[in-house]
A and B are shown apart, each in its own frame.
Chain A
Amino acid sequence: MARSTSKDAQALFQSLRSAYAATPTNLKIIDLYVVFAVLTAAIQIVYMAIVGSFPFNSFLSGVLSCIGTAVLAVCLRIQVNKDNKEFKDLPPERAFADFVLCNLVLHLVIMNFLG
């Protein structure tokens, strides 16, 4: 069994980038959106670790709004991906409408819980 080196890691990363370059633009936009949401959640968790958990409901709603957004975005990505045969009969417009509706419900709940 060959030992793994940094060259292997680089080769792996290169192949990942080249494969990702072929991804359709609309999926790339969703990916960017997910990264934005997850980063915002991470920042809040760090902030909570420093400042303390005092308005805990606010912390929960802030973090959960980010995570909820990310989850909904991932769901949208699964449904609009052409390579995904499972949702081949679902039109992308329908998937997007679902996404919008779920987001409305999510943010309504978040606003209630934010305090």
Chain B
Amino acid sequence: MSKLVHLLGFVTLNVFLLPFLCKSFSPETPTDRRVLVLLDDLAIQSSHSLFFKSLQSRGFDLDFKLAYDPKISLQRYGQYLYDALILFSPTIEGFGGSIDQAAILDFVDSGHDLIIGADANASDLIREIATECGVDFDEDSNALVIDHTSYAVSDTEGDHTLIASDDFINSNVILGSKKIEAPVLFQGIGHTINPTSSLVLKVLSASPSAYSANPKSKLSSPPSLTGSAISLVSIVQARNNARVLISGSLSIFSNRFFRSGVQKAGSAIKHEKSGNEQFLTELSKWVFHERGHLKAVNVRHHKVGEADEPAVYRINDDLEYSIDIYEWSGTSWEPYVADDVQLQFYMMSPYVLKTLSTDQKGHYFTSFKVPDVYGVFQFKVEYNRLGYTSLSLSKQIPVRPFRHNEYERFIPAAYPYYGAAFSMMAGFFVFTAIYLYNK
């Protein structure tokens, strides 16, 4: 009997713990994150160690596995084992274990983050995963991005596939507030962004003189990908706030590129260190939600002069609305400061649209008069900004008309009308009397 009780207790405990075992990024449990790194070759672990060390120093628990390891899996008993996945296995044709293309896409669909490092000779599997994320790699499997004007100067003349690019996306939230001075070294394949996808952003674009072709063969026909349409590194923020980083080069993450100096062709400045480390560290902070992840809490609204939230408002009530917005900084929730957060009082269309005032400490507030229209309204905050997770809050609230006894009585302007109505009644009595006694 006592065994049964123990068992029951264990089952109940598990049911309560289940939500906390889930590992995707959630505002409640944003720390202690596990990352699965899938490699072609364990040598990458040491040749790209600077990138991995920067992740580990920020508290990520990296789990290195060979991509064809038959024991790897992303989830067990329906629970994901990892928060994020790094695919540094550009040539893999089929993953080991239970991982396949659908499993990886499900992983992203459930809100987890993904970094894809493709490279020359990227496999069809990696290309298909990238296509599902909204970027298309150059179909020619031997093609590399070539740039004869903004290549990185090196001792040997080379084939100009080692590019020094400094065409970054202009966003402090994605690349950090510190400007990246040195160009980023890139050697790999180019991709284009699927024009139907509005969620993909080019973070690092090729220069207008770049093109994608096989450097070893003669160019017989015009290359299909040219100019700044070529994206070198792209990011995706899905509608569920999962973030994906897609790079056409694996060596961009390598220690060799991190440490190497760089001089862009045609430029006299020689940088001691390439921009790769800063670029990828900042970008990985964004991908792993250490920047630009917003949460809204303490949504409150009440009538002016009252503290409690009413279940219903009356037309023409004056009300106050407030909300706290925080941004995850990697270690704690910091107040988010902006001056463009807007509130809608919405029924089919916004009847009131107000920019919220802020106290610069993450508290946003406003007050307004309920419109002279009754019905079921919503308080809506729709906040979509480049690089930030989208905030979409709505709270339903009914608005009722005046009650019968809430109308104004004895209005001075209406006294003549009252007088007329009563004089008609008095007149009726007088008329009746005169009419009847007139005989």
Contacts and interface: CB of A to CB of B under 8 A. Distances in A.
Contacts of A107: 421, 424-425, 428
A40 B409 contact: no
Interface string B312-349: 00000000000000000000000000000000000000
Given A63-B420, A115-B409, 19 more contacts: A29-B435, A29-B438, A33-B431, A37-B427, A40-B424, A44-B416, A54-B411, A55-B417, A58-B411, A58-B414, A59-B414, A62-B414, A62-B418, A62-B419, A62-B421, A66-B424, A107-B421, A111-B421, A114-B418
Contacts of B432: 100
B407 interface: yes
B434 interface: yes
A111 B432 CA distance: 20
Contacts of A100: 432
Contacts of B424: 37, 40, 65-66, 69, 107, 110
Given A96-B435, A115-B407, A62 B428 contact: no
Contacts of B413: 51-52, 54-55
B209 interface: no
B423 interface: yes
Contacts of B414: 54-55, 58-59, 62, 115
Interface string A22-33: 000110011001
A96 to B, nearest CB: 7
A20 B423 CA distance: 27
A61 interface: yes
A41 B421 CA distance: 10
B363 to A, nearest CB: 40
B407 A114 contact: no
B427 A55 contact: no
Contacts, number: 78
Interface residues of A, number: 33
A103 interface: yes
Contacts of B417: 44, 55, 58-59, 61-63, 114
Contact of B420 (A33, A51, A65): A65
Contact of A66 (B409, B420, B438): B420
A47 interface: yes
A27 to B, nearest CB: 10
A30 B417 CA distance: 23
Interface of B: 407-409, 411, 413-414, 416-421, 423-425, 427-428, 431-432, 434-436, 438
B438 A69 contact: no
B435 A40 contact: no
A36 interface: yes
B8 to A, nearest CB: 67
Most central of A25, A43, A115 by chain B CB within 10 Å: A115
Interface string A77-115: 000000000000000000010001001000100110011
A14 B419 CA distance: 37
A58 B416 CA distance: 9
Nearest to A111: B421
Contacts of B407: 115
Contacts of B431: 29-30, 33, 73
Contact of A36 (B409, B427, B435, B438): B427
B109 to A, nearest CB: 58
Contacts of A59: 414, 417
Contacts of B427: 33, 36-37, 69
B416 A62 contact: yes
A100 to B, nearest CB: 7
A26 B438 contact: yes
A66 B428 CA distance: 11
A75 to B, nearest CB: 14
Contacts of B411: 54-55, 58, 115
Contacts of A36: 427
